[in-house]
Amino acid sequence: MLVLTQKEGEILQIGDDIFIHIKRVKGNWVRLCIDAPREVPIQRIPAERKDEDSKEAE
Q: Tell how many helices (H) and how many strands (E) occur in the chain.
A: 1, 3
Q: Has residue 18 been placed in a domain?
A: yes
User: Does 1 have pLDDT greater than 70?
Assistant: yes
- Give bridge partners of residue 25 from the DSSP assignment: 30
| φ/ψ (deg, to 5) at 26 | -140, 105
Residue 25, domain extent: 1-38
Q: What is the pLDDT of residues 14-53, one digit of tens each?
A: 999 999 999 999 998 999 999 999 999 999 988 876 656 6
Q: What's residue 47's pLDDT? A: 82
Query: Which among 20, 47, 25, 52 has a CA at the least distance from the CA of 36?
Result: 20
Q: Has residue 57 been placed in a domain?
A: no
User: Does 54 have pLDDT greater than 80?
Assistant: no
Q: Has residue 45 been placed in a domain?
A: no
pTM for the full model? 0.73
